[in-house]
Amino acid sequence: MPDDVVEVLFTEDQIRTRVQDLAHRISEDYKDRRLVLVSILRGSVFFATDLARQIELPLSMDFLSISSYGEGSEGVVRITKDLEENIAGKDVLVIEDIIDTGFTLKYLLRTLGGRNPKSLEVCTLLDRRARRIIDLELKYVGFEIPDKFVIGYGLDYRQRYRNLPYIGVVKP
Ligand code: PRP
């Protein structure tokens, strides 16, 4: 374990089991629909690809990259890489690694909602409710977590640790 990591919150096995549960629910819920997974770069890529492999339905995947303007400008978000696919009339599931304040998600739902998808829901691996400012409905949540700085399985600390197979807590 890297020196900065003080605690393992979820092991690789725990994550795998939870991802399977979510994929199972999604497979049931989206039967006979036109599912598009929209993975928000960069953090959700590990989760999105593992989840997609476990969903037993035809689906498409697309990627969206956004950038926020940092502290003090919460909610000011812009798209830096847009979707390739036209989502009008399709069942869109936004895949996130973590939801904190909800500002990013609010922007995403407003923007994607404006493109007339048939449905628009959210699947997040982690929900750090303690930091929530804007409350939005999250249809699928992997784990609720305490207000700690987490890394691994896509989550970074200064762009490092995304490739750890578990989710850990780093020193404050
Ligand atoms: C994280 C996460 C969400 C956002 C959530 O992305 O993937 O997009 O922050 O925060 P909010 O609820 O307070 O808006 P981050 O900016 O860390 O980018 P990354 O996925 O490229 O690491």
Per-residue pLDDT at 101 exceeds 80: yes
Token look-up 């700690």 returns 148
Q: Which residues contact 64 (CB under 8 A, 6 or more apart)?
A: 38, 39, 40, 41, 79, 81, 82, 83, 108
Residue 78: cis peptide before it, omega within 30 degrees of 0: no
The residue-averaged pLDDT of 46-70 equals 95
DSSP string, 3-19: TTEEEEEE-HHHHHHHH
Pocket test of ligand 1: the residue of 38, 40, 73 to mutate, having most ligand atoms within 8 Å of its CB, is 40
pLDDT at residue 68, as a whole number: 80
pLDDT at residue 131, as a whole number: 96
Q: CB of 97 closer than 6 A to ligand 1?
A: yes
Per-residue pLDDT at 126 exceeds 90: yes
pLDDT at residue 1, as a whole number: 87
Question: In order of start, what are the domains of the chain with their CATH numbers?
Answer: 13-66+86-147 (3.40.50.2020)
**Mind listing the pLDDT tens digit for each residue in 66-95?**
998 766 666 778 999 999 999 999 999 999
DSSP string, 84-105: SS--TTSEEEEEEEEESSSHHH
Q: What b/e sequence results for 113-124 when a residue is b if at least 16 CB atoms lie within 10 Å of its CB, and e otherwise?
A: eeeebeebbbbb
Identify the active-site residue in 29, 91, 100, 156: 100
For the chain, the average pLDDT equals 95
The residue-averaged pLDDT of 141-148 equals 98
User: How many A from CA of 42 to the centre of ligand 1?
Assistant: 8
pTM of the model: 0.96
Interatomic CA distance for residues 33 and 131, integer angstroms: 34
Residue 167 contacts residue 153 (beta carbons within 8 Å): yes
pLDDT at residue 169, as a whole number: 98
Q: CB of 43 closer than 6 A to ligand 1?
A: yes
User: And the tokens for 4?
Assistant: 């900065």
Q: CB of 102 closer than 6 A to ligand 1?
A: yes
CA distances from 54 to 10, 65, 105 (A): 19, 24, 24
pLDDT at residue 166, as a whole number: 98
pLDDT at residue 172, as a whole number: 77
